[in-house]
Structure 1
């Protein structure tokens, strides 16, 4: 995304997987397994995170065609990637930020105030302000730093 002069531009790409990648995606589709998007292209190939039941994952790995060189990096409890800044917010912060977005707090011009949010959520304006500032600080620091 590129921001210039207040306008936002988005670029989309269309990717056609090769025959082996297609075979892998089809194999994943037949199992009770999901991909934690996005996948990553690395110097060594494609890196992806799969999650699902142990038995389904074992069956998937056993069924991978020999033409695909697969390395199992690690297994364990599924933990979503922390690349999403919203994942760093507490449940309460997420709730208040979502309410603020829905009410137009982040629109230009603002569609609501902290006072209105406080009334709608049954909280003090100070509590709303503090939750929003802490959430905003976490998000900004995770994106900029």
Structure 2
């Protein structure tokens, strides 16, 4: 019999004890047949209602309505994370390019350092010669 084996039925009149479908099948009375037909009709109606295309569309619509809010929030969070990640990538690329540029300019900085040392040395020589001229002018 399937799922109907577990369905219990009660009659309203005289508080008749509960009977299972199997017991109802075993009854050969009109009451047993009426109960069996009623259960079969109810089962077919429930199956038809549960499998109704408009009901399925309603369930899908409800699922979408409930899920869209969460999906939009997730999309916004993902977009914000993507934007932050893109910014971090640009910053990292800029830092890499700046450090590569600094590495290339090392020779230039060394030449500037050598020129500064040379200028300091020449300045010191000029100061020494100026001092010698002043001191030689005072002795005369």
Q: Radius of gyration: which is bigger?
A: 2
- TM-score, L = length of structure 2: 0.24
The answer to which structure has the higher strand fraction is 1
- TM-score, L = length of structure 1: 0.24
Higher relative contact order (CA 8 A, sep 6+): 1
